[in-house]
Structure 1
Amino acid sequence: MALLEVNNLDVRFALRQGEVHALRDICFSLERGERLGIVGESGAGKSVAAFSLLNLIAKPGFIAGGTVTFDGQVLNRMSERGLRKVRGNRVSMIFQDPMMTLNPVLSIGEQMVECLKAHRRISSKEARRIALDKLQQVQIPSPETRLDQYPHELSGGMRQRIIIAIALLLDPDIIIADEPTTALDVTIQAEIMALLLDLCEQHNVGLILITHDLGVVSQVTQRMLVMYAGRVIEQGPTREIINDPQHPYTQGLINALPQMATPGEKLNQIRGSMPSLSNLPSGCAFHPRCDFINRADGKPRPPAPSRCLNLSNPATAVWRVIWWLKCSKIAV
């Protein structure tokens, strides 16, 4: 049994005009120490999926169906008290903006000690020792000094290292990183991702990396999910998907990488934008933007090709061809 299993996860938002499906039939698993990437454009449902794993969806959002099972426990059916024992303790999350995560009126040391004492019965002196050790692990210079500093006194890259150190404080089994390098420059991004990868390998920690950057995913993760309009449209080993994408949206994301463009010419891009979840097109949700489609076919929306399936299995090849013919008209 996998450490984390997500089966047919359905998340909705109750709005005045009716319920909006943010996620539909999301299925994936994560083994201990495995690294999984979730990619897609803004609005694809990546962050909603991450928040759903720890049941952090705020109203009017709610989990309408499916299960999130962690180490035999169904998290979306646990009480708030039970979830507090899992959040931060066994499953940690790194959010996009460190300044929104760190408390500006508390020193770094106070925040780290508070986190430790919330989950363990230890003295303040022992908690501070553990906090210092974690700062050293994430290669913070002069860690003793940093413990007594406040978030605004640190650079963006150093704040992100602090967040990673806090995520590692309680030796979690899984770290969920929601676009952890969005606000950083390219050089610092590479350093942070290399650090995160190294720490996960050292401590055998599972990683769920959420990003829109396929280049990062190809270097860091072992498996990946591609999301579009609240659905998983493709999943499997990262190398196989990068080398042989089965969905035109995945191919479009790969073609949009800067290194795929001809020098001196415009970068490749997917035409159009992500559709509104309250007004999804008929058939395949991607067909209005797809270069392989002549027109909308008007047929009911088919299930996602990767729904609860391992796309690396050759036995699914015929099924994928049938799905493709159902949801699109191939230009000839």
Structure 2
Amino acid sequence: MSLLSVGHLSVRFKQHHQDLTALFDISFSIQPGERVAVVGESGAGKSVLGYAIANLLPEQGYIACGSVRFGDQELRSLSRREWRKIRGHRIAMIFQDMMMSLNPVLTIGDQMVEAIRSHSKISFHQARQQAIDTLHQVRIRTPEQCFYQYPHQLSGGMRQRVIIAIVLLLKPELIIADEPTTALDVTLQAEILHLLKEICEQHQVALLFISHDFGVISRICERTLVMYAGKIVEQGPTLGIINDPQHPYTQGLINALPQMALPGQPLNQISGNMPSLTARPSGCAFHPRCPYALPECRYLTPDFFYTGVSATACFVVERIQTVNADSEVDHGTDI
């Protein structure tokens, strides 16, 4: 059984006299211990997907249709009280803004003890020792000192380690990480990614890692979902997608990596911008920016077409694969 199963999920936001769709027909699953990335530009719907799964959508947002199953439970049907038993305990979330994740007027220890005792009936001293042990586990060199410090007294890397420690306290089965390394320098970023990967492997914790950077997800995730304008446009093994991207949008994202440009040359870019919720194009939403767009891309929405390494929603890829398959058949006939 899948740990997390999302089926035909659509999310909308109430705005004035109309509802705007942010996610369209999202379907995927995560197995226990699996590390899955969600990648795309800003505005693709990555964070909305994470918030929808964790039931943290803002007041104007709501799930219009679809299913979100965690194990054998349908999360959409849970009450607020039932969610308190799952969020944090079985499903944990790491947010992008570290200072917003920590209470600035409470010490690290107070916040960790509060998290433990909200789910477990243990004494303060037991909770304190558990917190210090977990701070040591995330490689904070002076966990006893850190326990009594305030968030502003810690560096960015230390704060992110503390957040990971708080997440680990309740031994979750799934961690949703929303661009957790964006504000860190390259060295700290590598350390945090290594730490997250190590924790997931040691404790068999599943990870949904939200990012815009293929360079980052290649270090930690086994499988990748590429999102554009609220839809998944390609999905498959991370290394397979990086080495042989099929969708033109995925190709554009990979070509835009700094290492793909020659020294002294401008960085490669995808022309145009991500469409807003109020101006989403018909057909394939990427067609106004796609250099290979076919006439049908402008008015028809492509279904997933399965290739050797990934599943891709693209008429161009489907046509190329079909032509190649026909050529192989004709060649075999001639022989």
Query: Normalized against structure 1, the TM-score is what?
Result: 0.92
- Secondary structure of residue in 2 paired with 1:224: strand
Distance 1:54 1:80 in 2: 12
Change (3 A) 1:297 1:211: closer
Amino acid at match of 2:304: P
Mapped to 2, the partners of 1:230 and 1:268 lie a distance apart of 24
Shift of 1:325: 5.1
2:121 & 2:108 partners in 1: Cα distance?
A: 20
Superposition map of 1:151-166 within 5 A: 151-166=151-166
Contact 2:293 2:316 in 1 (8 A): no
Q: Distance in 2 between matches of 1:165 and 1:80?
A: 25
Structure 2, unmatched stretches of 5+, are 321-335
Question: What TM-score results when the alignment is normalised by the length of structure 2?
Answer: 0.91
Cα deviation, residue 114, structure 1: 0.2
Aligned to 1:59: 59
Does residue 242 of structure 2 align to residue 238 of structure 1?
no
1:214 and 2:197 matched: no
* Kept in 1: contact 2:284–2:298 (CA 8 A): no
Deviation readout 1:268-326 (Å, 9 max, x if unpaired): 111111001111112210111111137786424x14527xxx76578x78x96587559
Partner-residue secondary structure (3-state), 1:5: strand
1:59 offset after TM fit, Å?
1.4
1:151 maps to a residue whose letter is: P
Corresponding residue for 1:11? 11
Q: What's the CA shift string for 1:235-272, capped at 9, x where partnerless?
A: 11112111221210000001011111111101111111
Code of the aligned partner of 2:212: H
Cα 1:112–1:304 change in 2 (3 A) is farther
Alignment coverage as a number of residue pairs: 320
Provide closer, same or farther for how the CA distance between residues 207 and 73 of structure 1 changes in structure 2, counting only shifts above 3 A. same
Alpha-carbon distance in structure 2 between the residues aligned to 1:297 and 1:207: 34
* Alignment match, 1:182: 182
Quick check: 1:234–1:311 contact (8 Å CA) kept in 2? no
SS in 2 for 1:21: strand
Aligned partner letter, 1:166: I
Say if 2:134 is the partner of 1:134: yes
Give the SS at the match of 2:253. helix
Partner residue, 1:330:
none
The one-character-per-residue Cα deviations of 1:2-25 (angstroms, maximum 9, x if unpaired) are 011000011000111411100011
Q: Return the alpha-carbon distance in structure 2 between the equivalents of residues 171 and 297 of structure 1.
A: 46
Give the counterpart letter for 1:156 in structure 2.
G
Residues 10-29 of structure 1 aligned to structure 2 (within 5 Å): 10-29=10-29
Within a 5 Å distance, the mapping from 1:21-170 to structure 2 comes to 21-170=21-170
Code of the aligned partner of 1:185: D
Q: Kindly name which structure, 1 or 2, has the bigger radius of gyration based on alpha carbons.
A: 2
User: SS of the residue aligned with 2:278?
Assistant: coil
CA gap of 1:140–1:297, structure 2 versus 1, over 3 A, is closer
Q: 1:171 is matched with which residue?
A: 171
**Separation of aligned partners in 2, 1:257 and 1:67:** 35
SS at match of 1:100: helix
Q: Corresponding residue for 1:305?
A: 304
Contact 1:223 1:236 in 2 (8 A): yes
> Tell me, which stretches of 5 or more residues in structure 1 are unaligned?
327-332
Q: Deviations over 1:23-42 (max 9, x none)?
A: 01111100011000000000
Query: Secondary structure of the residue that 2:89 maps to in structure 1?
Result: coil
- Other structure's SS at 1:219 match: coil
Looking at structure 2, the residues matched to 313 and 225 of structure 1 have their Cα atoms a distance apart, in angstroms, of 13
**Match of 1:263, as an amino acid?**
P
CA contact (8 A) 2:284 2:297 kept: no
Three-state SS of the structure 1 residue aligned to 2:67 is strand
Runs of 4+ in 1 over 2 A off after TM superposition: 293-298, 303-306, 310-314, 319-326
3-state SS, counterpart of residue 207 of structure 2 = strand
Alpha-carbon separation, structure 1, partners of 2:3 and 2:314: 28
> Compared with structure 1, are the counterparts of its residues 304 and 44 closer, same or farther at alpha carbon in structure 2 (3 Å cutoff)?
farther
Query: Partner of 1:14: helix, strand, or coil?
Result: strand
Greater Cα offset, 238-247 or 43-52? 238-247
C-alpha RMSD over aligned residues? 2.0
Kindly provide the amino acid, as one letter, of the partner of residue 111 in structure 1: Q
Sort the Cα spacing of 1:322 and 1:255 in 2 relative to 1 into closer, same or farther, 3 A: closer
For 1:120 and 1:75, how far apart are their aligned partners in 2?
Answer: 22
CA distance in 1 between partners of 2:319 and 2:21 (Å) = 25
Counterpart amino acid of 1:57? L
The one-letter code sitting in structure 2 at the alignment partner of 1:305 is F
Alpha-carbon spacing, 1:124–1:312, altered in 2? closer, same or farther (3 Å): farther
Matched residues in 1 for 2:315 and 2:278: separation? 29
CA contact (8 A) 1:282 1:296 kept: no
Q: Distance in 1 between matches of 2:71 and 2:113?
A: 27
Q: Is contact 2:11-2:62 (8 Å) kept?
A: yes
